[in-house]
Structures are given as structure tokens and as C-alpha cells.
Chain A
Amino acid sequence: MNRPRSAGRGRPLLYTSYAQDIAMFNTPGKRWGVAALFALALLAPFAFNDDVVLILALALVAAIGAIGLNLVTGYAGQVSLGHAFFLGIGTYAGAVLGGDPEATRALAFGLPMVVWIPGAGLVAALAGLIVGPLATRLRGLYLAIVTLGLVFLGGHLFKEARFITGGIGAGRRGAALDFFGYRFDQAGPLLGLDLTRAQKQYVLALVLLSIFAVLGRNLARSGVGRAFSAIRDRDIAAEVIGVGLTKYKVLAFTISSFYAGVAGAVFYSIAGVVEPTAFNLLLSVQYIAMILIGGVATISGSIMGAIFIMTLARVTQEIAHYIPYISTQAIGGGLINVFQLEAILYGLLIIGFLIFEPRGLFGIWFRTRNYWKGWPFSY
């Protein structure tokens, strides 16, 4: 096809066809950029030690959940504080379907990964489908409060359903990462490379995230995604132009919950053990923070935000240990110890971020890109 030169070069904001406008990678820069990032991501497990690789693997899985929350809250504008509930439902669905019956006393069927990952998503999606209609009657803060209720409902359910969750304090093991007999939760060879357990978990997380990120991006740029945005920007106007509010709000909750379910199940199978009090309001807030810090209504922002939040604890830990005097106070002693300092730094970083960069990590990227786009005439 004889494309206009500008299309091939990817002049920003100059689109010569509709197909080009909505293409997944609408500029070569994006195409190559994503390829380079993916390559970097593949190298990461070889660049860091296993403890960091484990954190990164968990971050990539959390990113799946963050994309889910961004679909319902960022794209469709339905504020949900109930994400922890859906994460919990998915986690336990996954653990029951895929848990190793010999390794846990809680209910477990030992099904393979190809069954329990979609299964966890489907069970959570079902919960989303049931909750979704609430969103058609409420919006804004009222919806936030109702979804908040879900977290408490879930908290009670998880505590009481001891045959599934193992009970408070005791907990249960997550699902086994068993792909037709190939274990992603044991060290061993993968594609000719001898990998540790954390490295294999990371690779699995990266593959899953790639799949779900592409699906999410496709959803966002399709008719469904545009309907979501229309509802977010003005729901009455959306209805007037023929967007079915009930249908799309319920769809947003269902899809978001599917993402949450998958993320929860895989997250806790990597983390090892899940305890029923984990799915509290704090977890929901953490996911909200991921999409706020990353960038609302962006897929790449969800991923950046998840990586930021999940690695922040480790980063603050490294920083805290460089601060003189306090860094040696592991226990007791003075006003604060190094662990309390970590917690304070964590809070300060989030506050600082939202004050100085309200558009999130995506905003930083956006400005960097614009700077170089106009370079050397940046102003």
C-alpha cells in the first residue's frame, strides 16, 4: 500500500485515515517503543536478584488488576472502591480450582492453570455482573460508598468461609502454577535457559500481562471503549446518542472484575499464602492509587502505576537505610525506627506525587515525549 509519508513517519496528531487513528500502535514510535520496553522487560529477570524479580513479578500481576480497575473507573468513570472484593473472589476461586489438594487442608481441586486462571476470572466476573446493576442506579460518591460496602461484605465472607480461606491467621496456599505438568512455581529449565522460581514466575506474569494489556487496549479503542468514555464524560448525553447505560455499566463492572479475578488468583499463587484479612479497604485504595499515580484511562499508566506502588516499599527501604542515625535503629530506641520511616516515606511519596504530578506517571511520559517531539524548539 502506498501510504502517505507522514503516516509512515508518524507525524504526531496527523492522521490520514480513521484506521490509522484507532490503530493499536498508531505511530512507529509507539510500535518500536513497546517492542523495546518488552525486550527490556524480558531482560529484567536477568538484571536483578531473585528478591527483586519476585517483587517485579508481583507488580506485573498487580498491573493486570490495575488495568481492570482502570477500565471501570478510568475509562467508564464508575468509581469503584470494591476492587479488593473482586480480587478476593478471584483469589479464592483460583485457589479452590487450582490449589494442590495435598498441600492444603482447605478445599482444592488441583486443576491445571489453563482452567483456574480463566475460572478465577469468570467467578469474579459473575460477582461483577451481580453488582453491576447497582451502578446503573448510582454514580459518583454514592457508587463509591456502595462498592465500599462490598469490601466489608467480602471481609466477613472470607473470614467465615474457613473451609475455603483457611480462616484468620492461618490462611491457605494459593493455586499451583501448573501448566500441563510444567511448574512455573519451581526452578527449572525454560526455553533452554535454567531459571530460578522467581524468574519463571516473572516470565509467566509478563506473558499474562501482555495478553491482558493488549485485550484491554483493544477494548478501549473499540466501540465498547468509546461507549465507556461517553458514559464517563456525560452519561445523559451518552444515553441520548444511543449508548445503553445499563448494558455498558454492567459490562464495565463485569470485565473489570474478570481482570481483578485473574490478577488476584495469580498474585497469591506467586506470593504463596493468602490470609482472609488481606482483602481490606487498604488494598482497594492501593489499586486506586495505582491508577491515579499511573494515569487515569490509560493502559500503560495502569502498568506504570502498579509497578510504582509495588516497588515503592522496596525503594523506600533502600532510601531509609541511607538516612544516618535512624537507619541503625531497627528496633525500639528513639522516636522512630527504620521501618516506621519506611512507612512515612511511602505516604510522603504518594502525597508528593499527586501534588506535583497530578496526571501521574503517564503525565511525566507525556511531557517528556512532547519535549523531544518539538526538540530543539521545546518552548
Chain B
Amino acid sequence: MSPKKRWTYLPLLLVVLALVAAGCRAAEQEMQPPEDQEQEPAGDDDAQGAQTDVGVTEEPCPNAVNEDNGCIYLGIISDLTVGPFAPLAGPITEAQAAFWRRVNEEGGIAGYDIDATTYVRDNEFNAEVHNRVFQEIRGEVLALAQTLGSSPTLAILDDMRDDSIVGAPASWNSAWEFEDVILESGANYCFESMNGVDWATEQVGTDISLLHIHFPDDYGNDAAAGSEIAAQAHGIEYSAQETPPGRDQQAGAIEAVVSQSPDVLFITTGPQEMVEIVGRAAARGWQGLVLGSGPTWNPALLGTDAAPALEAMYHQVGPWGTWGTDTAGHQAMRDALGDVSEINDGYTAGWVWSYPMRAALEAAAENGDLTREGLLQAVSALTEVDYEGMLPNEAGNYADEPEQGAFRQSIIAGVDTESETGVSTIEDFFTGPTAEEHALDGPCYELG
């Protein structure tokens, strides 16, 4: 074959490739429902009667509990390997799988089983990866049962709004109160800190000094914003200091506690950092009242050298009761999860965060509209959610503006060596005066 002739085949080859390629995408795209399907005249009116679009099939779920039911697919994007929240994210995800298994065992929702295990993805706690894996499951799921992390969730927020995809977060940022597509549960970090400081003033009065040591991230700053507001309201001498993650990085924080010797120490870090700061500061003679944000506790801490100091001083300000709390919801969770190898309040969080999604799905099914748009409308009409006692029903108010709708109650737990998680509730749901009066006209710490 002469060289000239050989090249004449090239355009032909390219045309063939083009056709094959175009065929590929089209074939694949047909498998996912097109994005604009909801604009079709009637949508899919299926056997169960509700209108559906993306992420809802009449075929049963893989490993379905009820073979006769259709399937609603929920996506989960969590931190399952290398990210800093992997020890919590695993239990959160497991608890959510157990939650939906229980819903299915009770017959599902309006003729559908719910699947929250097929589209699980790992975000490595990285916004770019989060966006990448979200695009992968974007055309497959009705909603997100979990989207973990603030900056990761921010990376997909515009797409969620565009597609009307609602998602349950795995954090308590005050910014989520202002997002229609985010189904947050429990008081945010900001209210949590306000309630903590209010509670502390009841114990030790207002003529005190308060030091807030916190992570430099959105979690730490959201919490610190709340404690500062409360401290100002009470006229408390206030200071705040950032501390990096890592147990071996706490020398600066410990020094700050010892040198400033505050009456109340508020800590918003992980459990490892908290125990290091409290343990070392106590060993150097500091004494005072310690308040920790929800994520500062871990049952394993009672096995450390710092256990006596924690027993004497530590209090957890949390969004809801820990694992062993006596409510119907907690009991259902413990029954559904069975013997977990290591009890951890990641399970409790994953379980609680699932209730609003269930309520929204039920409401949407009742309206006969299980499309994404229909689900979003159902969410924005929710004024209460049955949390089976884990949270008061009014915590699930997504209909009202943040100022009225945001849930402001926290609980205080103290160290309890008898309890399975090492802490138990000493002050049940309450709203402190600061949180009560705070006008929530914007997030305490803005994202993006």
C-alpha cells in the first residue's frame, strides 16, 4: 500500500470511530433517565400510583426485602477511607443502611423499598473527589441520604439546586439552615455553643472567664461564633484560640489553658485533641469546667490516663441523646444494628439524620409525586418530623424561615462510667436564653 493511499483511509477510520463513539454515549445515556424528564407531560405514572422520575424504579431493589415493591435509590457520599472523619463516617453510613433496612422490613414507603447501599461513594473528604463521584451517581438517585463535609457539599450544592436533589448533611453547620435542599437535623454548632455557655453560667455564674479552643475549620469557627455571642450576652471575659488537628499538635492549646487559667474551657475539636488538652492541662494543675461540642466525645477516652480529669470536669453539649439514651428511636436503632463491635455515636447521628428523609419521602408519596421536584416540595412543606423521641418533632421544621424553623435545643451529657458510651444525659433538651434571643439572619460562619 503506498503511503498516500494509506492516509486516505484515515478520515474513513475517524468517521467509523465517531459513529461508534456517539453510539456508546447515546446507549449509556438512555439507561439513565434524561435530566429533563420531569417536564414530560405526565411523568411515569407507575403501578403504585405516584409520579416518578429519576432514581425510582418499578423493579425491586438489589437484595430487596419486599420483592413486590419498586425501588427508591438514595445516594451516600461519605468519608470512607483516608479522610479525617473516616472513623465516624463508617458508623454513620452503617446506621443509615440499617435505618432503611428497618423501613423496608416495615413494608417500605408507598410500595417502594429504599436502597441506600448501591450508590455509596467515598469522597476522601476532598471537594473535587466529592464532585466527581456525585456526577457519577447524579443520574441514578432520587436524593442523597448523606453528603458529608462542608466544602465537599458546597462543591455540589449548585448542581443539587439545579436538579432539585435534596440531601441530608453529616454535620451541624449553621449555614445548612439557609439551604432548601439540605435536610439538617438537630441544633447547629453555633446554637450548641450558645446553649453550652448558658448552661455553664447557671453552674458557675457569670463572673467568669471563658476560653474556647477550636479547630481552624468550619466546625470550629461555627462553634466559636456561638460561644462568643453567648459570652457577650452574659458579659463574660472571652478569648478563643485555634488549634490544629493531631494529638501531638496540642502544646500551644495546653499552654493557653494553663497560662490563662479560664474558669470555663470550651473545646471544639476531635476526641483525641480534647483528651490531650484536658488531660495535660489538668496534670499541670488547671481545674475548671470543660464543655465539649458534640463530636469531642468517644467512649474509648475513659480508657486513657486522662479519665479522672474527664470524669471530674468534662461535659458534652450535644444535639441529641447518645447511644444508650432511653427513647423509642434509640431502642429501634440498637435493635436494628445489633451487636456493633465498637459503640460510637456516629451510629446515632446516621440514624437521626435519616428521619427527615423518611418523612419527606412519605409526604411526597402521599402527594402522589415522588419526583425530585415533588420531594423538594414535600421537604419545604414539612413542619414536623417524627424522630421517635430522639429529637422533639418540631426539630423537623423545614417549612418556616430559618429564624422560626431552626431548631435551637441541645442536651448536656456528663461522664458516666456505667453508660455504654461513657456519657449520659444530665440536662435534657433545653434552649438557653442566648439561643432563644439570637436572630438567625445569616449563618454564624459562612461557607464558600
Contact = CB atoms under 8 A, between A and B. Distances in A.
B338 to A, nearest CB: 12
Interface in A261-320: 268, 271-275, 278, 313-314
Contact of B81 (A44, A50, A198, A340): A340
A246 interface: no
Interface stretch (A32-40, A127-135, A212-220): A32-40
Contacts of B18: 43, 46
A273 B154 contact: yes
Contacts of B14: 36, 39-40, 43
A172 B21 contact: no
B416 interface: no
A57 to B, nearest CB: 11
B94 A331 contact: yes
A337 to B, nearest CB: 7
Interface in A310-337: 313-314, 330-332, 337
A320 to B, nearest CB: 11
Interface in A54-74: 54-55, 58
Interface string A83-107: 0000000000000000000011110
A173 interface: yes
B216 interface: yes
Contacts of B138: 51
B128 A159 contact: no
Contacts, number: 148
Interface stretch (B179-187, B283-291, B440-448): B440-448
Nearest to B152: A273
Interface stretch (A110-118, A162-170, A224-232, A355-363): A162-170
A36 B127 contact: no
Contacts of B218: 167-170
Given A271-B131, A272-B127, A169 B151 contact: yes
A261 to B, nearest CB: 18
Interface of B is mostly: helix
Interface stretch (B23-31, B205-213, B379-387): B23-31
A32 B447 CA distance: 49
Given A167-B216, A169-B151, A278-B126, A54 B24 contact: no
A39 B21 CA distance: 12
Given A275-B151, A278-B126, A169 B219 contact: yes
Contacts of A272: 127-128, 131, 154-156, 158
A28 interface: yes
Q: Please name the 7 residue pairs, one residue from A and one from B, whose CB atoms are nearest each other, closest first.
A: A169-B217, A47-B21, A171-B151, A51-B135, A273-B155, A169-B218, A271-B128
9 contacts: A47-B20, A48-B25, A169-B149, A170-B154, A170-B221, A271-B132, A330-B80, A340-B81, A343-B82
Interface of B: 3, 7, 10, 13-14, 17-18, 20-22, 24-25, 28-29, 32, 80-82, 90-91, 93-94, 97, 117, 120, 122, 126-129, 131-132, 135-136, 138-139, 149-152, 154-156, 158, 215-221, 445-448
